[in-house]
Amino acid sequence: MVEGDQRAEEALPLFFLHIPKTGGTSLTVALKAFYDAESVITDAGNISVEFIKAHEHRLHSAAFVHGHAQHAVMSYLTGRVRAITFLRDPQAQAVSNYLHVVRDPGNRLNRAAIDLGFTKFLITFWQFAVFQVLSLDVSITRDSVRFPEELEGRVGQVFTLLEKMFFVGCLEQVNQICPLLSLLLGLPSCLTLPCLNTAVENGVDGETIARLRAEYETLQSDARIAHLLALERAVYNKAASLRSRYERQSVEQAFFAAPPHSRSPYAAYAAVDGAVYLAGNWRPVETTPAGPGWWTDSDECSTLLIDLVPAAHALEAEIYVTHFVNRLVFEADGLVLDHSLWATPDGNRYISVDLRPLCRQRRRRIVLTLRLARDGAPERPPYYPALALRGFQLV
């Protein structure tokens, strides 16, 4: 559990502004696991200014506040919490949100959603075309927008809100941002998001989802609504662009500035000239005859945190299994790093990543991302992970 005395004196409560159908239920469950039940503050999944005022005495450093934000909540809480939020690709969010309304007979728009169908519903109830923008706008304003033009005029304030928040993530980047958020929050282990409340879980077939996504694509050239879809996309793109800032600045605060030899919550391979921490998109360690090894968990980016010593100029590792991998790219601090592959006479394969550009910058701790591409992966289960590494060395 997160204890108050484990945090710096100036630490603020955590507030998760939950925008519906963005993976927020999963993130809430993952975060609640690190907090005592009495420190979790919510009003049945909602947060209003009136509710916060009534629970003011509970806003201590180890509190976790979460919910759908009602009017002016962020304006009231600014400077008093560390606010985080998740956004989702607009097409996926719109489809998921529509299906949620269709499945909920208690929703006042349930009958309209069923009768109109997806395309007419989005055009008629334009708020669902800009749902994420509107949710953020509500959190900083006292009055509801009546017309799309009002919202367009306030989008600058939404951009400013995203800039000022402690952390903004996108569901599509979950493998990259969970390690970053875990570091920033000082969690004892890396956040793992369960897959909860999905359309597929609720019985919606893949064909229906694909059809609705195709309708959304068509709407992007419909003059009645295209400008609103573009607005939603622009705000999403802004949120997605913030990840590089967290890697460059916020991770420095949480990882780079840590004292030498300080304990990390991530799986570590102690190399001779430093340590390598496997911080995102890696499966749990497995035992092999030649020592511990790690598989990439999916084909998304994998993250390594490297604690260097001055003498180290390369990261080396043995590739002990690959499945259909045809391209590897290593990036750190905005640079694409050179790497080389070789095999020994006994058939073992190795990789070496050139860290000298980072050493010239006198960086002692770095965030290294591994991107891979696959060719001819299996079309049917089992879907094997792409790559397994072991024997990390900093040389």
Q: Is the pLDDT of residue 336 over 60?
A: yes
pLDDT band at 186 (very low <50, low <70, confident <90, very high): confident
Provide the strand spans (E) within 75-128: 82-87
CATH number at residue 91: 3.40.50.300
Q: What is the mean pLDDT of the chain?
A: 87
β-strand partners of 331: 336, 369
pLDDT tens digits for range 353-380: 999 888 766 667 788 889 888 876 665 5
CATH number at residue 302: 2.60.120
Q: Identify the domain boundary among 229, 253, 277.
A: 253
Full-model pTM:
0.70
Q: Is the pLDDT of residue 244 over 80?
A: no
Q: Is residue 244 part of a domain?
A: yes
The reply to whether 270 and 249 lie within a common domain is no
Instruction: Tell me the C-alpha distance between 139 and 220, whole Å.
Output: 27
CB 388 within 8 A of CB 321: yes
pLDDT band at 257 (very low <50, low <70, confident <90, very high): low
Average the pLDDT over each of 4-8, 183-187, 201-205, 270-274 and give the range with the smallest value: 4-8
The reply to whether 80 and 103 lie within a common domain is yes
User: CA angle, corner 85, sides to 43 and 13, nearest 5?
Assistant: 60
pLDDT band at 266 (very low <50, low <70, confident <90, very high): low
Instruction: Tell me the C-alpha distance between 110 and 121, whole Å.
Output: 10
Q: Is the pLDDT of residue 81 over 90?
A: yes
Q: What is the pLDDT of residue 255?
A: 59
Coil, helix or strand at residue 378: coil
Instruction: Tell me the C-alpha distance between 237 and 299, whole Å.
Output: 22
Q: Is the pLDDT of residue 389 over 80?
A: yes
Q: Identify the domain boundary among 225, 253, 281.
A: 253
Nearest to 370 by CA among 357, 342, 389: 389
Residue-number span of the structural domain to which 79 is assigned = 4-253
| DSSP label of 296 | B
Contacts with 74 (C-beta within 8 Å, 6 or more apart), sequence order = 17, 83, 139, 140, 161
